[in-house]
Structure 1
Amino acid sequence: MISPWAVLAGAVAAGGLALLAAELRPAPPDLGQALDRLHRTPAGHEAESEHRLPWYDRIGRSALGLPGARIPQQQLALIARTPARFMAQKLLFALIGLLLPGYAVAMAAVMDIQLSFLVPVVAGPGLALLGWLVPDAIVAGEAKEARAEYLHGIAAFLELVALERAADCGPAEALRRAAAVGRGTVFRRIRDALERAATDRLPPWDGLEALAEELGLTPLQDVADIMRLSGTDGAAVYDTLRARAKGLRGELLAADLAQANVDSERMVAPGTMLTMLMTVLIVFPALFKMFSAT
């Protein structure tokens, strides 16, 4: 007779395989998401439908109003992460930190190791607070890297716009053709901003200005201001664009050199410790033999 537990285990395994196949199957394009890309508002002000969000995003969204919850809007916009997802991650890390001491006590009890019940009471809230702050540090690090990537992309975009203007393209056409060249995240976001501006019947530099405000990128705001001057007053902006691109590249180079100096200073202590260890390993056998002989 077949055990009911074996039947249950087979049903669970079959259900898992069915869910895996359903997730791996290519999904049809979502027209709603395509329209949202064209009419998307800056991060933090999106009016997402509640029923379209995953359950963990719904939980995170309900936690946005918690007292003391600080949402880094521009950093999240740089890494394309929603505030609801960010809050869901904070809640998850805090829950893990809160439950981890209790799990450790339970495992110790299984192994006949007695731990005080005060361990979860004392360590749980502290680890929960630490877990609550971990996503902030993660987002800050990812946003720093994304910002550097954006600035490098904007420098290239400035050069491309200047070349398009030198080829006698109009301001709006120069922006669109320059944005169509790149395939990275920066150029994709710029193309989306230009498409939204065209859909709303706004000048393209207004779309760049909105994107610059969303991401907190001053160089992109400079591009919008320069092209607005070219579009409204017909000013020749080739030299201005090239000068701004050169200045931005100089800022990025200075930042890279400063980071390289910091990394070099951090390597001094490990290098010193390694040298001392090698010295001890070389000198110790001779000293040991000398003192043993006496």
Structure 2
Amino acid sequence: MLTWLMLAGAVIGVGLALLAAELRPAPPELGSALDRLHRDPTPGGRARAADPDLGERLGARLVGLPGLRIPTRELALIGRTPARFMAHKLLFALVGLLVPTLLQFLDLVMGGSLPLLVPIAGALLLAAAFWFVPDAVVRSEAKDARIEYLHGIAAYLELVALERAADCGPAEALHRAAGIGRGTVFRRIADALDRAALDRLPPWDGLDVLAAELALTPLQDLADIMRISGTDGAAVYRTLRARARNLRAELLTDDLARANVDSERMVAPGSALVTLMTLLIAFPAVYRMFQGG
């Protein structure tokens, strides 16, 4: 029996290790970075890795399933391909199928008599529940990534305004400002500008494509402002500074709202803790009073 228990533990450990490896952020791939320098001929298409792994190949086969909704914009925000997303869903569903099976196996080894219908129903229900876990993870990561993008765009607006104040042209200001930062936001903006340059398009057209892909209104506003500056020669320094100031105000308001929500959530645990402490302090006196009576 000990051998079977060790074997089952080893299988569970290997499964958990594979799950952790799939959830760990993958290192950047050179093939994907080079593919992003060329516009995808299909709208909304994503650059694929030069040599995808087995999980991504399986996920690519599941992308076209009927009735399946893929959060394309959320995946674009976190830099994950739909094939990788589907691979995660498949992996979670398999884990949901295997856990009740392993529990049934352990029950049989230990001499139990659990009906076969219970693990089958549990496996189906758990697989169906685990199938939607990656959706929740992607939404949560995309929410954080969106905030990061908005903070980066606010900084980028300020840098572009400073470059315009230093007498740089509209296109040059966009490129030079994108080259200053080293974060994910600045890399994506620089990639979009380089792709537009290779396609012999104005840089604000590249920002248009990126803004539509990520559904970021402030980036679209920046593209519109710089388009007016590039075509009509309008002075946009004050406009850029005002847009950056408004964006920072919006982000501050959202931060305050989240802080208020977190504070309200702490009221119930705090009240429960105070009540418990009161009961612990008062219990001896109340108990002695009733015993004395």
1: distance between equivalents of 2:227 and 2:68?
38
Report 1:250-289 matches (<5 A).
250-289=249-288
Which amino acid in structure 2 is aligned with residue 130 of structure 1? A
1:92 matched residue in structure 2: 91
User: 1:100 offset after TM fit, Å?
Assistant: 1.7
Q: Deviations over 1:126-155 (max 9, x none)?
A: 111111111000000000000000000000
Q: CA RMSD in A?
A: 1.8
1: distance between equivalents of 2:29 and 2:59?
23
Q: Which 4+ stretches in 1 moved above 4 angstroms?
A: 29-34
Report 1:149-188 matches (<5 A).
149-188=148-187
User: 1:35 offset after TM fit, Å?
Assistant: 2.7
Which amino acid in structure 2 is aligned with residue 200 of structure 1? D
1:68 matched residue in structure 2: 67
Structure-2 change in CA distance of 1:283 and 1:274 (3 Å): same
Q: Deviations over 1:244-281 (max 9, x none)?
A: 11111111111111111111111111011001001011
Q: Percent identity?
A: 66
2: distance between equivalents of 1:287 and 1:225?
72
Structure-2 change in CA distance of 1:59 and 1:87 (3 Å): same
Gaps of at least 5 residues in structure 1 are 1-28
User: 1:47 offset after TM fit, Å?
Assistant: 5.9
User: 1:70 offset after TM fit, Å?
Assistant: 0.8
2: distance between equivalents of 1:115 and 1:212?
55
2: distance between equivalents of 1:31 and 1:105?
45
1: distance between equivalents of 2:291 and 2:263?
42
**Is the contact between residue 36 and residue 191 of structure 2 (CA under 8 Å) also seen in structure 1?**
yes
User: 1:43 offset after TM fit, Å?
Assistant: 8.8
**Is the contact between residue 43 and residue 73 of structure 1 (CA under 8 Å) also seen in structure 2?**
no
User: 1:37 offset after TM fit, Å?
Assistant: 3.0
1:215 matched residue in structure 2: 214
Aligned residues: 265
1:201 matched residue in structure 2: 200
1: distance between equivalents of 2:116 and 2:159?
65
2: distance between equivalents of 1:124 and 1:83?
26
2: distance between equivalents of 1:193 and 1:31?
16
User: 1:104 offset after TM fit, Å?
Assistant: 1.0
